């Protein structure tokens, strides 16, 4: 039997999703909790597959995972039971049976991320680890309209090599962006990015380059030239992981994957009304 589950976590507490020798990853904690909840001495390992292998410091509101098991228990029992063995920074939101051809990673046809950025003259300790930060003198602000203008060249299918990490294992740098919206709420700026798939560090690299435009260091036309050059050295540095959230993974309707609960974060709920669904 194949089960899918929805997962939320505070990435600041972990070394990313993927299992490591340190054991301090989301996958390590989830698989250990599944083994403890199953409680069968013959089952020492549960292998999980995720929709998005988030990096250290990156958060998730709508992560989706699947695993196979012969254990039959009510869906709510899985939710409560597994959560009982997880740290407070990880939470299973739902569990449901899915067809055996469902794959959390490969069945997903799009992902939506949001980058939350706080601007101001000094850091804000109460949102440390939950948002990116851009230092600005009192009374100054980023040019959001310039960033919006620059971002238009990124929409559609492109070779995103200029925004690809050297550690990226993707078979192709060609990806499709369906949406890139930039919202300003006072000192907060939110980048909502939706695409068919993303390269390693791609969203954080895009944010870093958009901020180079918003700060006036570069012109809006500069971003198009960087994209066309397919040269990582020409783009801005990778921005900090703190503000990046995996919001949603899109699946074919026949799998009936629940929509994520987006209420449990510092991100404003009205922000999600702008997220388009294919």
Q: For the CA atoms of the chain, what is the radius of gyration?
A: 19
Q: Is 113 annotated as a binding residue?
A: yes
CB-based burial of residue 5 (10 Å sphere; 0-12 exposed, 13-18 middle, 19+ buried)?
buried
Q: Where are the domains of the chain?
A: 2-107, 110-245
2-107 folds as Alpha-Beta Plaits (3.30.70)
Using a pLDDT cut of 90, give the percent of the chain over it. Answer: 85
Query: Is residue 191 within a helix (H) or strand (E), and if so which, with residue range?
Result: strand 188-195
Q: Does the pLDDT of residue 278 top 70, yes or no?
A: no
Active site residue 55: yes
Are 2-107 and 110-245 the same fold in CATH? yes
**DSSP classification of residue 161:** G
Selecting among 28, 55, 70, 101, the annotated active-site residue is: 55
Least confident of 17-31, 151-165, 177-191, 216-230: 17-31
What are the distances in angstroms from CA 269 to CA 93, 124, 206, 259, 264? 18, 21, 23, 14, 10
> Do 134 and 242 form a contact (C-beta atoms < 8 A)?
no
Class of domain 110-245: alpha beta
User: What pLDDT digit, counting tens, does each position of 231-241 carry?
Assistant: 999 999 999 99
Contacts of 67 (CB under 8 A, 6+ apart): 2, 3, 5, 34, 46, 47, 48, 49
Contacts of 275 (CB under 8 A, 6+ apart): 112, 179, 192, 194, 247, 248
């Amino acid at each position: 039997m194949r089960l899918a589950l929805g997962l939320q976590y505070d990435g600041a507490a972990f070394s990313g999703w993927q299992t490591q020798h340190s054991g301090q990853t989301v996958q390590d904690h989830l698989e250990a909790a599944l083994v403890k909840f199953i409680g069968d001495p013959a089952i020492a390992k549960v292998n999980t597959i995720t929709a998005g292998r988030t990096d250290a410091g990156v958060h998730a509101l709508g992560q989706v995972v699947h695993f196979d098991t012969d254990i039959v228990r009510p869906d709510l029992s899985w939710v409560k039971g597994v959560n009982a063995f997880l740290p407070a920074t990880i939470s299973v939101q739902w569990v449901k049976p899915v067809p055996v051809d469902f794959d959390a990673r490969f069945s997903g046809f799009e992902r939506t991320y949001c980058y939350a950025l706080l601007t101001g003259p000094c850091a804000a300790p109460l949102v440390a680890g939950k948002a990116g930060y851009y230092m600005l003198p009192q009374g100054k602000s980023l040019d959001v309209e310039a960033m919006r203008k620059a971002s238009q060249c990124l929409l559609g299918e492109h070779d995103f090599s200029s925004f690809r990490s050297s550690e990226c294992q993707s078979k192709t740098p060609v990806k499709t962006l369906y949406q890139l919206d930039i919202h300003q709420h006072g000192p907060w700026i939110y980048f909502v990015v939706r695409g068919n798939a993303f390269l390693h560090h791609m969203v954080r690299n895009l944010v870093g380059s958009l901020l180079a435009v918003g700060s006036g260091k570069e012109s809006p036309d500069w971003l198009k030239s960087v994209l066309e050059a397919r040269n990582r050295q020409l783009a801005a540095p990778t921005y900090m992981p703190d503000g990046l959230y995996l919001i949603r993974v899109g699946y074919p309707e026949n799998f009936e994957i629940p929509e994520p609960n987006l209420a449990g974060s510092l991100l404003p709920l009205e922000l999600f009304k702008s997220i388009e669904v294919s």
